[in-house]
Amino acid sequence: MKVGILTVSDKGARGEREDRSGPAIREIMEAAGAEVVRARIVPDEQEAIRAALIEWSEEGLDLILTTGGTGFSPRDWTPEATKAVLEREAPGISEAIRQAGMKKTPTAMLSRAAAGIRKSTVIINLPGSEKGARESLEAIMDALPHGIDVLKGTAVECGKPLHKE
């Protein structure tokens, strides 16, 4: 699985804050056997976010994970930029992330994160905090490879349980 990690942060893009969520996402994805082929930090600007998502999906990445810009701050525009480039939404992914997050913190319901498909790339918005990004990935990791296999046309069996009992 070829993965891109897009950190959305004004301070991170200016070098004023260390990106902790991007490296945490890389660690998790590489431990799962994925190859992180792109990583970038962009400011909270819709055009910069859209441009990176389009560029990487045109390259044929299997998965793009964004981190940051999903809350209520006036500068949080990641979901809008993501939805602008999606061809098909996958709301169940964001719903699963919010549901899992609410088991740990009631403020998880405030996430406006989006997820979906552009071309043959799955794009998922994750929270900007390292803890939130880790917990969110944990909530969806079991289903991600199957979803990508289905999208790529390489899934052999649909409808079978993901876990062996």
Give the CATH number for residue 100.
3.40.980.10
Question: Is residue 161 a part of any domain in this protein?
Answer: no
In this prediction, residue 31 carries a pLDDT of 97
What is the band of 40 on the pLDDT scale with cuts at 50, 70, 90? Answer: very high
Report, as an integer, the average pLDDT of 44-49.
98
Q: Which residues contact 12 (CB under 8 A, 6 or more apart)?
A: 18, 19, 41, 68
Per-residue pLDDT of 95-126, as tens digits, reads: 999 999 999 999 999 999 999 999 999 999 99
Question: Is residue 164 a part of any domain in this protein?
Answer: no
Q: Report which of 41, 61, 35, 67 is spatially closest to residue 134, judged by C-alpha positions.
A: 67
Residue range(s) defining the domain that contains residue 141: 2-152
Q: Which residues contact 15 (CB under 8 A, 6 or more apart)?
A: none
In this prediction, residue 132 carries a pLDDT of 96
- In this predicted structure, the answer to whether residue 140 has a pLDDT above a threshold of 70 is yes
Provide the token pair at 84. 């602008």
Question: Is residue 103 a part of any domain in this protein?
Answer: yes
What is the band of 159 on the pLDDT scale with cuts at 50, 70, 90? Answer: low
pTM: 0.93
> Phi, psi (5° rounding) for residue 15?
80, 15
Q: Total structural domains in the chain?
A: 1
Question: Is residue 42 a part of any domain in this protein?
Answer: yes
Question: Is residue 114 a part of any domain in this protein?
Answer: yes
Question: Is residue 160 a part of any domain in this protein?
Answer: no
State CA 85 to chain mean position distance: 14
Averaged pLDDT score across all residues of the chain:
94
Per-residue pLDDT of 71-103, as tens digits, reads: 999 999 999 999 999 999 999 999 999 999 999
What is the band of 155 on the pLDDT scale with cuts at 50, 70, 90? Answer: confident
Tell me 87's DSSP state. S
